[in-house]
């Protein structure tokens, strides 16, 4: 669940699969069912942000420039700017510092 809260859905699913397999071998039926529920539950993202927007927001909150974000995520600076524009609109902020504050308040970083 920590991986899921951190926005790493792929790792969360791998960990849930591993836990499910262990619970199954142990015969822990209620735990197997709980893992199945968690595995099928859709990931909730604050204010409708996409996974990529969350990636960008986390990097903005860490003080990275658009150029640095683009290099780290292997996308163009134009794409970063577009993501930031979408993020600002979705979370209703007007600056990078307000977006960073939002990220910290919502424990995204």
32-89 pLDDT, tens digit each: 888 888 888 655 567 888 888 999 999 999 999 999 999 999 999 999 999 999 999 9
Same domain, 69 and 32: no
pLDDT at residue 64, as a whole number: 97
* Statement to judge: residues 62 and 99 lie in one domain: yes
Quick one: 86 and 52 in the same domain? Answer: yes
Residues 36 and 73 occupy one common structural domain: no
pLDDT reported for residue 106: 85
- pTM (2 d.p.): 0.62
CB contact at 8 A, 84 and 94: no
Same structural domain for residues 50 and 101? yes
Mind listing the pLDDT tens digit for each residue in 10-32? Answer: 788 889 889 989 998 998 888 88
CA dist., res. 107 & res. 1, Å (int): 14
Q: Is 87 exposed, middle or buried (0-12, 13-18, 19+ CB in 10 A)?
A: buried
Instruction: Give how many domains the chain has, as a whole number.
Output: 2
Domain interval for residue 16:
2-40
Q: In this structure, what are the phi and psi dihedrals at residue 93, rounded to the nearest 5 degrees?
A: -130, 165
Q: Give the sign of the dihedral formed by CA 51, CA 53, CA 59, CA 62.
A: negative
């Amino acid at each position: 669940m920590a991986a899921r809260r951190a926005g790493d859905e792929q790792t969360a699913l791998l960990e849930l699969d591993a836990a499910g397999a262990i619970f199954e071998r142990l015969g822990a039926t209620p735990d197997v069912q709980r893992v199945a529920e968690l595995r099928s539950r859709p990931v909730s993202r604050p204010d409708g942000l996409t996974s990529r927007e969350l990636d960008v927001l986390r990097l903005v909150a860490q003080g990275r420039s658009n150029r640095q974000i683009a290099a780290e995520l292997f996308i163009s600076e134009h794409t970063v700017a577009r993501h930031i524009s979408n993020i600002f609109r979705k979370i209703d902020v007007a600056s990078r510092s307000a977006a960073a504050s939002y990220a910290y308040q919502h424990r995204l970083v």
